[in-house]
Structure 1
Amino acid sequence: MTTTIAPAATRPPALTLDDRLALTSLAMDDRLNAAGLAVAINTARFDTQVATPPRTTETNPYATPIAALLHRARARILTDGWCRTELYDETGAVCPIRAIRLAAASRSQADDAAFLLLEAIRRHWQADTIPSWNAQQASVAPVLLAFGRAAELARARNL
């Protein structure tokens, strides 16, 4: 048996992806209707705007969860701004504790990260608490440095 192939001029044009998706959708509708499973969905209530996460220019170099959390909290201070005497302000700037809470997946993870941040601060500066130390800083530079040191501590301890 020989197979003949029609010349290119007589062949129908290839279907686009949109055409194939439309045909598949129609075929699925027919199957659902035949099985009595068709359900009407009111799509007018759906929000068609998709929220995209903010882009960060820096990738997270840490593989351990607490070190990665501290890095994300540091990045939040860089992007949102640093707040010295409040948890956050009207511009969206955050203090170190708030940055950690926002970056953490759980309360215990936030507590572990805050503990390491306080340890890093105490190794290099005199401080009783993170908020009291944060309020003494004249710029964001020592805060960012403390986050980096705390992330290194977490990585060294495999946390």
Structure 2
Amino acid sequence: MPTLTRPPATRPAAPTALTFDERLALAALAVDARISTEPLDLADVIRGPVDTPVAPEVQPYRTPIAALFHRAQTRLLSAGWCANQLRDEQGAACLIGAIRAEAGSRPEADDACTLLLDIIQRDFDPTAGTIASWNDRQRDGHMPARILGHAASRADARGV
């Protein structure tokens, strides 16, 4: 029987040490492998109690016109803002429409609108002729809602 001879054992070459750049590249690959690049679906993450009643809104202002401005701002933020009309079919309102909808009476709405025009002209746009013209020049509801918040603070400071 023939004998099998083994080839002489060769040792594998000793691994060479990795350079800093090679180690950094491998670490970056390891991190990339752990990171998911799929978009996050917030519906899977944000969950709230289903049958929790909505708490009534806290009124931060004690003066009537300031409270009216705050309610009008809340209306704009929840129902939406519109231009070139008091209210649209979906319930969105312009500044005057939101104030009139939240006012207890027409004189209260008129007083609030007078003060609001004064605040717009003094603090934001001295060229504003009317609330409606200023409202209609806005691109979205951000500034009208901001104006109502500012007006609420100013009215509260004035005690009206």
TM-score by length of 1: 0.62
Give the share of equivalent positions with the same residue, in percent: 50
Partner of 2:93: 94
Say which one has the larger Rg: 2
**Corresponding residue of 2:103:** 104
Match of 1:132 in 2: 133
Change (3 A) 1:75 1:56: farther
**Which of 66-75 and 111-120 deviates more?**
111-120
Amino acid at match of 2:86: L
Letter in 2 for 1:65: P
Q: Matched residues in 1 for 2:92 and 2:140: separation?
A: 13
CA displacement at 1:58 relative to structure 2: 4.4
Normalising by the residue count of structure 2, what TM-score does the alignment of the two structures yield?
A: 0.62
Partner of 1:158: 159
2:76 aligns with: 77
Q: Quote the RMSD (CA, aligned, Å).
A: 1.5
Specify whether residues 141 and 157 from structure 1 end up closer, same or farther in structure 2 by C-alpha distance, changes over 3 A only: same
Note the residue ranges of structure 1 that are not aligned, 5 or more in a row.
Answer: 1-54
CA 1:132 to 1:58, structure 2 compared with 1: closer, same or farther past 3 Å? same
1:48-68 CA distances to partner (integer Å, 9 max, x unpaired)?
xxxxxxx67742210111100
Separation (CA, whole Å) in 1 of partners of 2:55 and 2:77: 10
Which structure 1 residue ranges, 4+ long, deviate > 4 Å from structure 2? 55-58
Tell me the number of residue pairs that the alignment of Structure 1 and Structure 2 aligns. 105
Shift of 1:104: 0.6
Structure 1 residue matching 2:151: 3-state secondary structure? helix
